[in-house]
């Protein structure tokens, strides 16, 4: 992962055997950025059922395509999802999989066992889940860590001019291994193209024409 | 043995495809070898006798490509490396002027070329250039002054090959052999096949054992001829060349290119494919260069390759894919997902310096790209549809976007940018692109095409 992102993880790295969930509108970007370093260092990445991946964006976020497999399947039911993810874990140390419709406790236990024995880490992409269904996203997957990632600012475009250059996101961190919810802010990436921590938002206003919103600020 | 005098055509534009022009090219040189979509090579001796000299052939070639609106460098020299370097030099001229290195002049023409460049062109391990650089050996000129036997002793075959190539010679020409006719593979389809991936699969299955047998015999294939025939008797054949030798996936890749270029020619293909023939034209002693000398394939790589097979058994091998760079300016065509077991591990990398290709979307790319874009409506502040003029100007500032009946306020936008692709070909695509930010700070990429707006990607 990009150097600055290690602060999001208690162990300052992706930990084998863990499950991490990503929700919120900017979930994809943070998930891809989280695995970039691993692929560059020689780990293989499997993207399971994350249909419509913007390959170019993955490259911009640092993912090494020569070690990336895309499994283009619907995984209609959870049993199939578990099968595919488990098989991917045979050869890929990092897996990003779109969230399945539902997952039984038993299937989850089997999967966790599998991840541990293969030494793989699973990132569950829940960006299409409705925000407040029955349970918080990390709980649904027994996740060690859960990131909820919301865009709070775009930089680079104004009334027809420019292009999207930078995005600021607010991340809330929960999960089994997190005692109290923490928050963090990042440039994903910043105007210089680098992923870096962002200063806490002080002023948030919509009247000055900037695209900042007040939500997601601790 | 003297190196073969070669002419190489090289198109610097990463999205160029010489494929559809090759039939015209055959008028100048009936026998030519295709290196990849942007490079073609001929043994120039025959055409030179016919047209009256290397320069005459070269200017004909330049004329031909100019007529098709393609910018190409054309270089002639003894040996592959010098000819390629000459073509690259030629492409830098505006307009391109052919560069002809006189007979016997290749070594001098390479004298000041950096080793890094030699390694790149010859596809030798990059570590070789790094290592030599640290020893103070930076150019081909520096390298040829070292005793070849010491290079061979220290660096094995890579050292020996690099020395030969820096001298302007070809790679081990003495061991090049032409193989017997049984090295011809025929893939017959009982039902005509309309899909490129299906053809690729069948070819992979048939070529696999042949390349395997060659490699067991210590040989690699450096040239083959692929013939493709349709049910209506239409036929294409191309001769392909790869200096470092073809692996199975590289053969499949070439067949794929050939078929795609052929299908792109209007009216050329009217039926499904019934036959693919692969005739191995040239082999030479394998030097083991195909496995990287420094940094062998890792255990992780082997495990992943096994997982690709297992996943294939589970979900179908077409569904287990890798992304390969395919050039282009539009977000839906710059990378393509192809079945992982037909990807050449050396070729799936996107050259980083090409990513910022002119006309491509600058700034961030969408993380979600829809294979089938969704039609959306874009309205101005008074509820009138926003349109784009022929010159790429908006009729009014966009204020509202209707996606699937749901209404979204547009907070800000950028563009539109007009992109006119392949204006010379029937596959022409004209698109205006616009980025918008909506009220919940979702950012989207929209296209204006055929008088409608389409939601093509989102920044998730």
Question: What digits encode the pLDDT tens for the residues B7-57?
Answer: 999 988 777 788 778 888 888 887 788 888 888 998 898 888 888 899 999
Please tell me the predicted confidence (pLDDT) of residue A129. Answer: 57
What sections of A51-146 are H helices per DSSP?
A: 55-60, 78-91, 105-118, 137-140
Residue B308 contacts A where some CB pair is shorter than 8 Å: yes
Q: Are residues B419 and B449 in the same domain?
A: yes
Q: What is the C-alpha separation between B39 and B43, in angstroms, rounded?
A: 14
Mutate to test the interface with A, among B323, B369, B439, B445 (most CBs of A within 10 A): B323
Average pLDDT of the residues in B182-194: 84
Please tell me the predicted confidence (pLDDT) of residue B291. Answer: 38
Residue B320 contacts A where some CB pair is shorter than 8 Å: yes
Are B369 and A52 within 8 A, CB to CB?
yes
- 3-state SS, one letter per residue, for A127-178: CCCCCCCCCCHHHHCCCCEEEEEEEEEEEEEECEEEEEEEEEEEEEEECCCC
From the list A84, A92, A156, the residue facing B314 with the nearest CB is A84
From the list A32, A53, A71, the residue facing B319 with the nearest CB is A71
Structural domains counted in chain B: 4
Per-residue pLDDT band for B324 (boundaries 50, 70, 90) equals: confident
CA B304 to chain centre: 25
Predicted confidence (pLDDT) per residue in B257-269, tens digit: 888 878 877 778 8
Query: Is B66 a member of any domain?
Result: yes
Q: How many CB atoms lie within 10 A of CB B446?
A: 23
Residue with more model confidence, B170 or B59 = B59
**Domains of chain A, with CATH numbers?**
3-151 (3.40.50.300)
DSSP H or E segment with residue A30:
helix A27-40
Q: Are residues B383 and B275 in the same domain?
A: no
Q: Name the one residue in this structure whose structure tokens are 């002809």.
A: B100
Per-residue pLDDT band for B327 (boundaries 50, 70, 90) equals: low
User: Domain with B107 in it: what CATH number?
Assistant: 3.30.70.270
Residue B454 contacts A where some CB pair is shorter than 8 Å: no
Q: At residue B349, does pLDDT exceed 60?
A: no
Cβ-based neighbours of B307, under 8 Å, separated by 6 or more: A44, A46, A69, A87, A88, A90, A91, A92
Please tell me the predicted confidence (pLDDT) of residue B160. Answer: 83
Q: What is the C-alpha separation between A45 and B196, in angstroms, rounded?
A: 26
Average pLDDT of the residues in B196-218: 85
Q: Are residues B96 and B17 in the same domain?
A: yes
Q: At residue B401, does pLDDT exceed 90?
A: yes
Please tell me the predicted confidence (pLDDT) of residue A32. Answer: 95
Contact criterion met (CB below 8 Å) for B139 and B114: yes
Residue A193 contacts B where some CB pair is shorter than 8 Å: no
Average pLDDT of the residues in B86-111: 87
Please tell me the predicted confidence (pLDDT) of residue B180. Answer: 53
DSSP reduced 3-state for B132 = helix
Residue with more model confidence, A40 or A63 = A63
Please tell me the predicted confidence (pLDDT) of residue B181. Answer: 44
Are B337 and A55 within 8 A, CB to CB?
yes
Q: At residue A99, does pLDDT exceed 90?
A: no
Average pLDDT of the residues in B363-381: 87
CA A134 to chain centre: 21
Are B367 and A25 within 8 A, CB to CB?
no
Residue with more model confidence, A101 or B106 = B106
**The pairing of beta strand B39-43 with beta strand B335-339:** unpaired
Q: What is the C-alpha separation between B308 and B66, in angstroms, rounded?
A: 44
Q: What is the C-alpha separation between B310 and A69, in angstroms, rounded?
A: 13
Beta strands in B101-218 (DSSP E): 184-193
pTM score of the predicted model: 0.62
Contact criterion met (CB below 8 Å) for B73 and B87: yes
Please tell me the predicted confidence (pLDDT) of residue A27. Answer: 93
Per-residue pLDDT band for B436 (boundaries 50, 70, 90) equals: very high
* Token code pair at residue B399: 């204020």
Q: At residue A166, does pLDDT exceed 50?
A: yes
Q: Of the residues B123, B148, B172, which one is the last residue of a structural domain?
A: B172
User: Domain with B227 in it: what CATH number?
Assistant: 3.30.1490.100
How distant is the Cα of B226 from the closest Cα of chain A, in angstroms?
27
Query: Is B390 a member of any domain?
Result: yes
From residue B316, alpha-carbon distances to A52, A86, A93 in Å are 19, 16, 22
Q: Are residues B382 and B251 in the same domain?
A: no
Average pLDDT of the residues in B333-349: 66
Per-residue pLDDT band for B385 (boundaries 50, 70, 90) equals: very high
Q: Which residues pair with B444 in a beta bridge?
A: B436, B458
Per-residue pLDDT band for A212 (boundaries 50, 70, 90) equals: very low
Q: Look over chain B and give the mean of its residue pLDDT values, rounded to a whole number.
A: 81
Q: Are residues B196 and B101 in the same domain?
A: no
Give contacts of B411 with chain A, Cβ < 8 Å.
Answer: 211
What sections of B196-243 are H helices per DSSP?
A: 196-216
Q: Are residues B162 and B91 in the same domain?
A: yes
Q: At residue B293, does pLDDT exceed 50?
A: no
Contact criterion met (CB below 8 Å) for A29 and B460: yes
Q: What is the C-alpha separation between A205 and A215, in angstroms, rounded?
A: 11
Average pLDDT of the residues in B338-354: 57
Q: Are residues B145 and B14 in the same domain?
A: yes
Average pLDDT of the residues in A46-60: 88
DSSP reduced 3-state for A15 = coil
* Residue closest to B60 by CA, chosen among B100, B94, B33, B92: B100
Query: Is B325 a member of any domain?
Result: yes
Query: Is B144 a member of any domain?
Result: yes
Residue B306 contacts A where some CB pair is shorter than 8 Å: yes
Per-residue pLDDT band for A115 (boundaries 50, 70, 90) equals: very high
Q: Are residues B107 and B206 in the same domain?
A: no
Please tell me the predicted confidence (pLDDT) of residue A211. Answer: 38
* Token code pair at residue A79: 């049993």
Query: Is B109 a member of any domain?
Result: yes
Cβ-based neighbours of A54, under 8 Å, separated by 6 or more: B331, B365, B366, B367, B368, B369, B457
Residue B321 contacts A where some CB pair is shorter than 8 Å: yes
From the list B310, B345, B459, the residue facing A90 with the nearest CB is B310
Please tell me the predicted confidence (pLDDT) of residue A215. Answer: 31
State in Å, rounded, how far the first CA of chain A is from the last one: 25
Residue with more model confidence, A61 or B180 = A61
Q: At residue A86, does pLDDT exceed 90?
A: yes
DSSP H or E segment with residue A33:
helix A27-40
Q: Are residues B167 and B206 in the same domain?
A: no
Predicted confidence (pLDDT) per residue in B18-29, tens digit: 877 888 888 888
Per-residue pLDDT band for B429 (boundaries 50, 70, 90) equals: low
Per-residue pLDDT band for B67 (boundaries 50, 70, 90) equals: confident
Residue B13 contacts A where some CB pair is shorter than 8 Å: no
- Percentage of chain A exceeding pLDDT 90: 32
Query: Is B362 a member of any domain?
Result: no
Q: What is the C-alpha separation between B80 and B87, in angstroms, rounded?
A: 11
Are B437 and A26 within 8 A, CB to CB?
no
Q: What is the C-alpha separation between B54 and B72, in angstroms, rounded?
A: 17
Please tell me the predicted confidence (pLDDT) of residue B328. Answer: 62
Crossing angle of helices A78-91 and B299-315, in 10° steps, is 160
Mutate to test the interface with B, among A35, A49, A55 (most CBs of B within 10 A): A55
Query: Is B328 a member of any domain?
Result: yes
Per-residue pLDDT band for B358 (boundaries 50, 70, 90) equals: very low
Query: Is B196 a member of any domain?
Result: yes
Q: Are residues B55 and B116 in the same domain?
A: yes
* Residue closest to B106 by CA, chosen among B68, B54, B150, B60: B54
Cis ω on the peptide bond leading into residue B365 (within 30° of 0)? no
Q: Are residues B36 and B71 in the same domain?
A: yes
Residue with more model confidence, B349 or A179 = A179
Q: Which domain holds residue B205?
A: 184-285
Q: Of the residues B118, B144, B172, which one is the last residue of a structural domain?
A: B172
Q: At residue A66, does pLDDT exceed 90?
A: no
**Taking the CA atoms of chain B, what radius of gyration do you get in angstroms?**
25
* Token code pair at residue B64: 């031909």
Q: Name the one residue in this structure whose structure tokens are 């907070």.
A: B411
* Residue closest to B250 by CA, chosen among B35, B16, B8, B33: B35
**The pairing of beta strand B5-10 with beta strand B73-78:** antiparallel
Q: Are residues B263 and B332 in the same domain?
A: no
From the list A56, A71, A152, the residue facing B315 with the nearest CB is A71
Quickly list DSSP for B371-426. EEEEEEEEE-TTSPBP-B-TTS-BSS---EEEETTEEEEEEEEEEEEEEEE-TTST
Are A84 and B320 within 8 A, CB to CB?
no
Average pLDDT of the residues in B417-434: 67
* Residue closest to A172 by CA, chosen among A12, A17, A24, A47: A24
Per-residue pLDDT band for B440 (boundaries 50, 70, 90) equals: confident
Per-residue pLDDT band for A88 (boundaries 50, 70, 90) equals: very high
How distant is the Cα of A123 from the closest Cα of chain B, in angstroms?
15
Cβ-based neighbours of B422, under 8 Å, separated by 6 or more: B428, B429
Q: At residue B335, does pLDDT exceed 80?
A: no
């Amino acid at each position: 992962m990009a150097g600055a992102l290690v602060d999001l993880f208690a162990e300052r790295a992706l930990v084998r055997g863990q499950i991490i969930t990503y929700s919120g509108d900017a979930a994809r970007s943070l998930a891809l950025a989280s695995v970039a370093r691993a692929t560059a260092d020689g780990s293989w990445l499997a993207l399971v059922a994350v249909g419509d991946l913007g390959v170019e964006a993955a490259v911009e976020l640092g993912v090494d395509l020569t070690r990336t497999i895309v499994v283009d399947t619907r995984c209609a039911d959870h049993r199939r999802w578990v099968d595919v993810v488990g098989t991917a874990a045979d050869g890929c140390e990092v897996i990003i999989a779109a969230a399945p419709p539902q997952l039984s406790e038993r299937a989850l236990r089997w999967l966790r066992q599998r991840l541990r024995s293969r030494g793989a880490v699973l990132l569950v992409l829940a960006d299409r889940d409705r925000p407040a269904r029955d349970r918080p996203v990390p709980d649904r997957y027994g996740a060690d860590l859960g990131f909820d990632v919301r865009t709070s600012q775009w930089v680079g475009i104004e009334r027809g001019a420019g292009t999207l250059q930078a995005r600021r996101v607010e991340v809330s961190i929960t999960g089994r291994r997190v005692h109290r919810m923490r928050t963090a802010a990042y440039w994903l990436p910043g105007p210089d193209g680098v992923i870096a921590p962002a200063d806490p938002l002080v002023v948030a206003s919509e009247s000055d024409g900037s695209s900042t919103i007040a939500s997601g600020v601790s | 043995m003297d190196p073969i005098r070669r002419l190489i055509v090289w198109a610097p534009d990463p999205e160029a495809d010489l494929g559809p022009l090759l039939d015209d090219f055959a008028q100048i040189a009936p026998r030519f070898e295709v290196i990849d979509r942007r490079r073609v090579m001929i043994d120039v001796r025959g055409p030179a006798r016919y047209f009256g000299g290397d320069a005459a052939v070269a200017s004909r070639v330049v004329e031909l490509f100019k007529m098709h609106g393609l910018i190409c460098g054309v270089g002639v020299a003894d040996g592959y490396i010098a000819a390629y370097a000459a073509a690259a030099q030629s492409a830098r001229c505006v307009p391109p002027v052919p560069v002809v290195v006189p007979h016997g002049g290749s070594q001098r023409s390479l004298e000041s070329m950096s080793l890094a460049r030699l390694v790149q062109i010859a596809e030798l391990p990059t570590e070789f250039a790094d290592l030599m650089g640290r020893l103070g050996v930076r150019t081909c000129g520096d390298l040829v002054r070292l005793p070849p036997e010491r290079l061979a002793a220290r660096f094995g075959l890579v050292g020996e090959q690099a020395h030969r190539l820096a001298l302007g010679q070809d790679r081990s020409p003495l061991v090049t052999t032409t193989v017997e006719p049984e090295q011809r593979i025929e893939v017959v389809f009982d039902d005509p096949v309309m899909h490129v991936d299906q053809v690729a699969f069948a070819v992979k299955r048939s070529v696999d054992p042949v390349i395997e047998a060659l490699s067991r015999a210590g040989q690699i294939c450096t040239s083959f001829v692929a013939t493709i025939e349709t049910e209506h008797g239409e036929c294409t054949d191309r001769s392909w060349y790869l200096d470092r030798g073809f692996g199975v996936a590289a053969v499949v890749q070439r067949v794929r290119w050939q078929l795609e270029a052929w299908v792109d020619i209007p009216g050329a293909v009217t039926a499904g494919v019934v036959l693919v023939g692969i005739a191995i034209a040239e082999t030479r002693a394998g030097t083991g260069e195909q496995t990287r000398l420094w940094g062998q394939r890792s255990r992780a790589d082997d495990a992943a390759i096994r997982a690709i097979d297992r996943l294939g058994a589970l979900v179908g091998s077409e569904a287990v894919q890798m992304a390969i760079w395919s050039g282009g300016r539009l977000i839906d065509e710059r990378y393509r997902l192809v079945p992982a077991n037909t990807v050449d591990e050396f070729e799936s990398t996107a050259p980083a310096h090409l990513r910022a290709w002119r006309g491509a979307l600058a700034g961030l790319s969408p993380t979600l790209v829809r294979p089938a874009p969704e039609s959306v409506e874009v309205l101005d502040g008074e509820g009138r549809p926003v349109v784009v003029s022929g010159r790429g100007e908006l009729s009014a500032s966009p204020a509202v976007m209707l996606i699937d009946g749901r209404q979204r306020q547009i907070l800000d936008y950028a563009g539109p940018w007009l992109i006119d692709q392949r204006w010379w070909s029937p596959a022409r695509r004209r698109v205006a692109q616009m980025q918008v930010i909506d009220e919940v700070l979702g950012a989207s990429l929209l296209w204006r095409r055929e008088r409608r707006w389409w939601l093509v990607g989102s920044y998730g």
